[in-house]
Structure 1
Amino acid sequence: MAKTPDQSQTRRKKIDAMREQEERARKRNKNLAVSLTVIGVFVVVLAAVFVVNRLSGPEPAAVAAGESQYVRADSHKLSVAADGKVTLVEFLDFECEACRAAFPVVEDLRKQYEGKVTFVARYFPLPGHFNAERAARAVEAAAAQGKFEAMYQRMYETQTQWGEKQVPADDVFRVFAKDLGLDMTAWEKVYNAPATLERIKKDVADGQALGVTGTPTFFLNGERLQPQSEGDFKAAIDAALAR
């Protein structure tokens, strides 16, 4: 039976609609393939960047007898326990506000556990803090004259004066050194010495190897702590002392 003009027109519309649907589906599949390719490339690039960053970062120094990546022979010990049973290590940044908030807690713990716990300070200046590395060099230069603790404390006590600024704080740190009665010629020499920066980078490399990404980061006898209060610190320390 012959089709009427209306039937033929309807059939053509159906065919055109099917073709249009097929074309849209083809375009969707093409776009999906392109998107997946872009995502795949992004993942590969991201992975490559991660690997490059890991490879270009500082390599930890070899671990000598009697030391570890937590505590090196030249690590600065604020307090020392004779039995060496419990050690609290802090990777810190002198320009870090959270480190400044933790400072009085650590000082209080040092008083409470004097002679029972060894407290160790490791440098970990963060790249986003303009004067953090300078502060670490200033403290290390003071340490060369036996004034590590005094300069360490001064940095936190004055952080609001020089921290979070985008101008060098060298002159400020020089004043601190003078106030401590240091030999300024000797202090300047150590402050500007490449070996001082290498000393700080060694701490950073150890921290990175241990998974440190921010400050302050604490390790108690090699186990990472995430305390929310002084009570959390004390509970962990008491448990370690009781073992």
Structure 2
Amino acid sequence: MKTSFKALIITLAVIVLVAIGAIVFALNQRASAPSGDGETVRTDSHVLDDAGEGAVTLVEFLDFECEACGAFHPIVEDLREKYDGEITYVVRYFPLPGHINSTQAALAAEAAAQQDRFEDMYAMLFETQAEWGEKPVETPEVFRGFAEQLGLDLAAYDEAVADPATLARIEADKADGVALGVQSTPSFFLDGTLLELTAWGDLEAAIEKAVNG
């Protein structure tokens, strides 16, 4: 009788441990998986090219310090020119933690956006990436210098950079990216679908197919 009772206790303990393990596993899976509530484009997203209702929409989640983003930049610019009027192109922030100046660069771009100069700062950041990228410390003064070169209102720029709402705007973009499954930059979504790019020409091929069928 005692042996049977002991066996029952052991069996119940094993069941409890298995159940706890299953719960922990499920919670970990939920924490690591995309939440599914992200959106590729929001009302405040930066639209560089607007081809109108029903146009093919290309969304890029980028990190201004990312060398791969820098390498893709001229390709993207060529594609914007080639498909001008046929695609809507949207830029969203996704600063990576391993890049010291990525958030500072995004702050500069967002501060410029508040003066309707996002695309000018976007272009300057990629043109000068080699000058400020891969630094051991943040260099906000470099980006303020870019703002000055662009003729921005520096008082308004400084206020925007210091405003927590500006950083929150950047973090909201990144949160959408994480929810959508973005793990690296650049990540491109074409009409809401994350593209798997394995060669330089894959992006153009995907756009051509979407535009012309």
TM-score range, shorter chain: 0.7 to 0.9
Q: Check 1:209–1:177 CA distance in 2 against 1; reply closer, same or farther (3 A cut).
A: same
Q: Under a length normalisation based on structure 1, what TM-score does the superposition of the two structures give?
A: 0.72
CA contact (8 A) 1:92 1:125 kept: yes
Does the 8 Å CA contact 1:84/1:117 hold for their aligned counterparts? no
Query: How many angstroms apart in 2 are the aligned matches of 1:52 and 1:173?
Result: 38
- Determine helix, strand or coil for the equivalent of 2:60: strand
User: Residues 62-119 of structure 1: CA distance to partner in whole angstroms, max 9, x if unpaired?
Assistant: 8xxxxx7000000001111123320010000001000000000000000000010001
How big is the shift at 1:48? Answer: 9.5
In the alignment, the residues of structure 1 paired with residue 26 and residue 107 of structure 2 have an alpha-carbon distance, to the nearest angstrom, of 33
Seen in structure 2, the aligned counterparts of structure 1 residues 48 and 161 have a Cα distance that, compared at 3 Å, is: farther
* 1:233 pairs with one of 199, 203, 208: 203
Partner of 2:57: 87
* Distance in 1 of aligned mates of 2:134 and 2:85: 36
Measure the CA separation in 1 of the matches of 2:156 and 2:56: 35
Amino acid at match of 2:189: F
CA contact (8 A) 1:69 1:210 kept: yes
Assess if the C-alpha contact under 8 Å between 1:89 and 1:220 holds in 2.
Answer: yes
Could you say which structure has the larger radius of gyration? 1
Q: How many residues align structurally?
A: 193
More RCO (CA 8 Å, sep 6+) = 2
Structure 2: runs of 5 or more not aligned: 1-20
Gap runs ≥5 in structure 1: 1-42, 63-67
| Structure 2 partner of 1:164 | 134
Q: Which amino acid aligns with 1:180?
A: L
Quick one: percent identity of the two aligned structures?
Answer: 52
Say what the alpha-carbon RMSD is for the aligned residues.
Answer: 2.6
Q: Give the counterpart of 1:179 among 149, 161, 170.
A: 149
Matched, 1:192 2:158: no
Off by >6 Å, runs of 4+ in structure 1: none
Q: Is the 8 Å Cα contact of residues 75 and 121 (structure 1) preserved in structure 2?
A: yes
1:97 maps to what in 2?
A: 67
- Structure 2 match to 1:29: none
Q: Residue deviations 1:25-68, cap 9 Å, x none?
A: xxxxxxxxxxxxxxxxxx99x9699579659x9x89x8xxxxx7
